[in-house]
Amino acid sequence: MNKQEKTNINASDKSAERTDRATQDIGLSPDKPEKPRANDVVNPGDKIDPSAQTIEDKAQQVAVDAPDITGDHIKVPTYFIVDEPEGEQKALHHVKDAEEISDVIRQARTDEEGNRTWR
């Protein structure tokens, strides 16, 4: 065996040893990496409950209720309740329906002629 082959073997042994040590440190199996479940979210308030809920139940859910870095207390509802043109109410999830919430806000800031009004 020549010197180059010995160097390559030693390097691969050290790499495997580092990988084994790293996966042991964080409790993962080197054979099977763990994947998060599809419905896992970082913020528990972002979870969407698949069971049917009323508009009133959704209006009571809070996604974030904590102080921010400036010391202000932030409270974000999980669902924003909006009035539809037909007179019905609709619950929009603050993450999943963010684009639709933005559209509702833009509509609320236009006058009768469709001109945007800045407040």
Predicted local distance difference test score (pLDDT) of residue 64? 85
Predicted local distance difference test score (pLDDT) of residue 23? 47
Q: What residues form DSSP beta bridges with 67?
A: 73
Cα–Cα separations (whole angstroms), residue 31 to 15, 20, 34, 96: 15, 10, 10, 34
pLDDT digit string, tens, across residues 10-24: 555 555 555 555 445
pTM exceeds 0.85 for this model: no
Confidence of residue 72 (pLDDT cuts 50, 70, 90): very high
CB 99 within 8 A of CB 81: no
